[in-house]
Amino acid sequence: MCFSLSLVIPIALSLSLSTHHFATADNEIGKSLITTTCNHTEFPDVCISTLESDPRRSTADLTNLSRMALELAITEVNETKAEALKLVNNAGSYESWGIRLACYDGFNSIVYQLEESLQYFDQLKYNE
């Protein structure tokens, strides 16, 4: 459970934080931009399928694509956090409860950090 974000977070961060790989993609939009961009991530296939599932993809430029990736990461983390809470509430032992609670707390922290990142992104404070 704690490792389910290992695919989503690198994609979002790769798209939003690394602009030097994407200089040639500035004039592209839609599917070709997604493919070009995702090929520079750690998990290109997951990146492509995730971003192509978003209805906004056809008109997305690099900035919009980066925002979409952050939004998708936030959605995924919130869904996983909800599942982690269910596991905490159904723990069979104190030890299991403690481990699951640590996992849940990690997701809670990630949600906050990603939401804060999205605010900085919207303010064009990309270095934050």
Residue 16 pLDDT > 90, yes or no? no
pTM (two decimals): 0.72
pLDDT confidence bin for 94, thresholds 50/70/90? very high
Distance between CA atoms of residues 112 and 77, nearest Å: 10
Residue 91: φ, ψ to 5°: -65, 140
Contact 73, 16 (CB under 8 A): no
Please give the single-letter amino acid code of residue 18: S
Residue 4 pLDDT > 50, yes or no? no
Residue 23 pLDDT > 50, yes or no? no
Contact 14, 86 (CB under 8 A): no
